[in-house]
Amino acid sequence: MPTTDSAKKRVRQNEKARRRNKKLKTSIKLARRALEEAIEAEESSEEIEQLKQKAEGCVDRAVNKNVLHRNRAARIKSQLDNMVNQS
């Protein structure tokens, strides 16, 4: 357990950042899953495109907040494009 005041503060800050990062990563996973389900259910192309844009927005938001590395984000977005193009 931390003993100094500064160490206690770092524990609080790290917990806050962990929750924020987890929320962003979860939103990416949920958006990606929604897109996959829409593709499997053969939804309209407009709806699929809308879900893809939402998922890419989540990825971009995570990059701007330094949760994901930009190269990983590019890879995820490329995978989303491939999913949509193969459907």
- Count of other CB atoms within 10 angstroms of residue 69: 11
Provide the pLDDT for residue 87: 78
Contact at 8 Å (CB) between 79 and 70? no
Extents of the domains making up the chain: 5-86
- What the block records as the tokens of 42 is 């053969």
What is the SS3 assignment for 43?
Answer: coil
pLDDT at 1: 87
pLDDT in tens, 8-35: 999 999 999 999 999 999 999 999 999 9
Distance CA 4, CA 18 (A): 21
pLDDT band at 81 (very low <50, low <70, confident <90, very high): very high
Range 5-86 has CATH code 2.120.10.30: no
pLDDT in tens, 50-75: 999 999 999 999 999 999 999 999 99
